[in-house]
């Protein structure tokens, strides 16, 4: 069975881009008049997936938009994961969990076994104990939050810490080094915001060229695509995934939402292909 990294590399070469579509299917924004009798999130997600699957390396549902609906939302999340699984397309559960021991193990089981996701996002604040139980899934992708795309990341992530040898570094640099050191199963990845290209370049230098980086922040958050690809040293080896959510999902609020989503995704991928030398 191919690993997550291998599957991402294969999809990157197949699509000629590094687009990840975030399925942040906010219930209040769905064009319900176009949807059938089934669950609106599931129907919407399937329409988006069907319209963009040849352009996309992977999909990333943010679990909050499903969990907020209770049991129905959890069912919609699982159905979305199973649909992607049936198509052979990698799916990332953007759950940002971060706990230790048996608790972390149950989170991993929930998303990587009960729901057939191929990867999860995790919070490293509790240290390696929060990563180790999830890392035990060698074929999965474990995305560790390193430097996020939100403005208040500076509250913690840029703070200076003193190392044992007396030198200093920022918190995000420390986390990047830990990701590299903890990557014993060769399945760890990093989350670095596209809204901070200089820090992205710094982190790529720490991680090396092979550890995959997921970059949210293009589109509604204003990240620069070409600079993100440059600083992340994007290649066709699957070492970077650029996540776009709202600007693709809600490119149109009308009945043509799937067509509009495809057009926006195609526009982004075309930019990626030009950067990668494929156009």
Q: Would you please indicate which residues are annotated as catalytic (active-site) residues?
A: 96
As a whole number of angstroms, the distance between CA 189 and CA 249 comes to 25
Sign of CA dihedral 272, 9, 57, 107: negative
As a whole number of angstroms, the distance between CA 261 and CA 16 comes to 18
Task: Give the DSSP H or E segment for 179.
Answer: helix 171-182
β-bridge pairing 58-59 and 19-21: parallel
Sign of CA dihedral 98, 101, 106, 112: positive
Instruction: Work out the angle at residue 56's Cα, subtended by the Cα atoms of residues 8 and 147, and round it to the nearest 5 degrees.
Output: 65
**For residue 147, which of 117, 120, 179 has the smallest C-alpha distance?**
179
Facing residues of 93 across strands?
120
**For residue 242, which of 250, 251, 232, 252 has the smallest C-alpha distance?**
232
9's CB contacts (< 8 A; 6+ apart) are 236, 237, 238
């Amino acid at each position: 069975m191919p690993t997550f990294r291998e599957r991402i590399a294969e999809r990157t070469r197949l699509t000629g881009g590094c687009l990840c579509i975030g399925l942040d299917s906010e219930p209040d924004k769905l064009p319900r008049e176009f949807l059938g009798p089934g669950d609106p999130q599931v129907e919407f997600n399937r329409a988006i997936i069907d319209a963009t699957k040849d352009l996309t390396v992977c999909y990333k549902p943010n679990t909050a938009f499903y969990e907020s609906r209770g049991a129905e939302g959890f069912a919609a999340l699982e159905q979305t994961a199973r649909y992607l699984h049936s198509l052979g397309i990698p799916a990332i559960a953007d759950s940002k969990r971060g706990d230790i021991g048996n608790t972390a193990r149950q989170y991993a089981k929930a998303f990587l076994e009960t729901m057939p996701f191929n990867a999860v996002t995790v919070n490293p604040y509790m240290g390696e104990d929060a990563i180790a139980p999830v890392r035990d899934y060698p074929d999965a992708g474990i995305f560790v939050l390193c430097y996020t795309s939100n403005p208040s990341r500076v509250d913690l992530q840029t703070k200076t810490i003193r190392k044992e040898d007396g030198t200093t570094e920022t918190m995000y640099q420390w986390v990047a080094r830990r990701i590299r050191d903890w990557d014993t199963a060769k399945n760890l990845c990093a989350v670095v915001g596209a809204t901070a290209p200089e820090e992205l370049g710094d982190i790529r230098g720490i991680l090396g060229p092979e550890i995959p980086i997921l970059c949210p922040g293009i589109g509604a958050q204003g990240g620069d695509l070409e600079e993100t690809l440059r600083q992340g040293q994007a290649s066709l080896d699957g070492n970077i995934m650029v996540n776009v959510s709202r600007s693709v999902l809600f490119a149109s609020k009308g009945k043509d939402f799937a067509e509009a989503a495809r057009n926006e995704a195609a526009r982004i991928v075309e930019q990626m292909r030009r950067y990668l030398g494929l156009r």
